[in-house]
Chains A and B, each alone.
Chain A
Amino acid sequence: MPQIAQIADTYASQIFWLLLTFGFVFFVIGRGMVPKVQATADARDAKITGDLDAAKAAFARADEVEADYRVRDAESRTAVQATLAKAKADAAKASEAKLAAADAEIQVKIGAAEARIKAATDAAMAQIETVAADAARDMVARISGVEASDEAARNAVKAALAHG
């Protein structure tokens, strides 16, 4: 076995060159380069974690904004409904007032018209009395030949009219 047979001749060379090469590997590669490689990987991991966190935060903010939007939406809906109801009530009140005014005016007009009608009716009645009294006097004169007095005829007509 050369490992044992040659040990006396080669151990110093083996140890020397191993320490030399491993020293190079450790100090140049292990200490010099590996930390940089590792730092790159760590930086990437950190960036990925950071980006994910940012995305998560953005998500949360979006949710918040949406909730906020919903609240405001609901608020403005109620506000609009209130305004609408108020407008409706106002409009109803205004139209009621106008209706009442118009009603009163119409009442007044109706009253005036009724008064006019009554006056006209009265006038007509009066005329009818006169005409009826004349007619009654004529009828009396023709039937009995007696000239009935104006007053008597009028009274008779009145009595007849009152009886209907």
Chain B
Amino acid sequence: MAESGKIDPMHQFAIEPLFGTDHLSIGGFNIAFTNSALYMVAAAVVLWIFVIGGMKRELVPGRWQMAVEYFTGFIKNLLISNVGEGGKKYIPYVFSLFMFILLANLLGLLPLGLVGVHPFTFTSHFTATGVLAIMSFSIVLIVGFWKHGLHFFSLFVPHGTPLPMIPVIFPIELISFMVRPFSLGLRLFVAMTAGHVLLKVLAGFVINSSNAGPGFGLTVGAASFVLMIGISALEVLVAVIQAYVFALLTSVYINDAENLH
């Protein structure tokens, strides 16, 4: 962080090794335990604790069990409505994906800066979202070729395409298919990054305008602060929606692989 009110809104995305693990490596690759990794672990642990609370397996569920079952039921309905009954076997994957991204987004929004901890949103890094997107895409490819063999390529020729159009349609469909992992990963990364940058920029306005004098502070600063409150609420919504979009698109893509057309 620079001096004299110069606030770098991008600093929040900086990855820093923690606990002196800077040079931890496997096979020449650096695998330092960073603040990003810390938040991944936190998301996994919070999710673990959350789901443990739903493991009471009572016939009449308590509030916590009800909440966990609500999420599993939500994912189940998502898969059934997009893929059909065959989609049920993807519940573990899509549930993991949805909850992991959701918790990552929400944990990154926690106002931990108030107690001196730097919150970090690893879903604002395309290295992380890219891995998740490639995983979803790989499942689509593996399931598609496993179930349909080379017939899977018929996915790129929509029903009722006239024969002369096939040489044109096929590359277009192929490209739109190949773009999927990028759009999937980049959408989440961009949404989270943009939201956090916006919040940080507005926070910078509040601080810098207050430093410039009470007149600026009460006008620009107060307005920015009010805006921040609204955008913080919006960001919570975006955190949920982006996790949902990721899970939804994954299930839509799985539907292509599972049912072809």
Q: Which of A3, A12, A17, A30 sits near B126, CB closer than 8 Å?
A: A3
Complex contacts, B55 vs chain A, CB 8 Å: 33, 36-37
Q: Say yes or no: A12-B131 contact (C-beta < 8 A), given A24-B44, A36-B55.
A: no
Nearest 9 CB-CB pairings of A with B: A30-B92, A17-B37, A12-B29, A30-B96, A14-B127, A21-B40, A16-B31, A2-B14, A2-B13
Tell me the complex Cα distance, A13–B189, Å. 18
- Does residue A41 face the partner (Cβ distance < 8 Å to B)? yes
- CB <8 Å contact, B10 and A44: no
A17-B37, A41-B69, A41-B72 known; A3 and B125 CB under 8 Å? yes
Contact between A17 and B34 (Cβ–Cβ < 8 Å)?
yes
Residues of A close to B31: CB separation below 8 A: 12-13, 16-17
Interface residues of A (CB under 8 A from B): 1-3, 6-7, 9-22, 24-26, 28-31, 33-38, 40-41, 43-44, 47
Residues of B within 8 Å of A, CB-based: how many? 54
Q: Which residues of A contact B52 (CB under 8 A)?
A: 33
**How far apart sit A19 and B29, CA to CA, in the bound complex (Å)?**
14
Contacts of B40 in A (CB 8 A): 17-18, 20-22
Identify the closest chain B residue to A43 (Cβ): B59
Nearest A residue to B94 via CB reads A30
In the bound complex, how far is the Cα of B52 from the Cα of A142, in angstroms?
155
Q: Which residues of A contact B69 (CB under 8 A)?
A: 37-38, 40-41
Contact A16 B26 (CB under 8 A): yes
Nearest Cβ on chain B to A49's Cβ, whole angstroms: 14
Shortest Cβ distance from B8 into A: residue: A2
Residue of A whose beta carbon sits closest to that of B92: A30
A44 to B70, CA, bound (A): 13
> Which residues of chain A are within 8 angstroms of B51 by Cβ–Cβ distance?
29, 33-34, 37
In the assembly, what is the distance between CA of A1 and CA of B197, in Å? 11
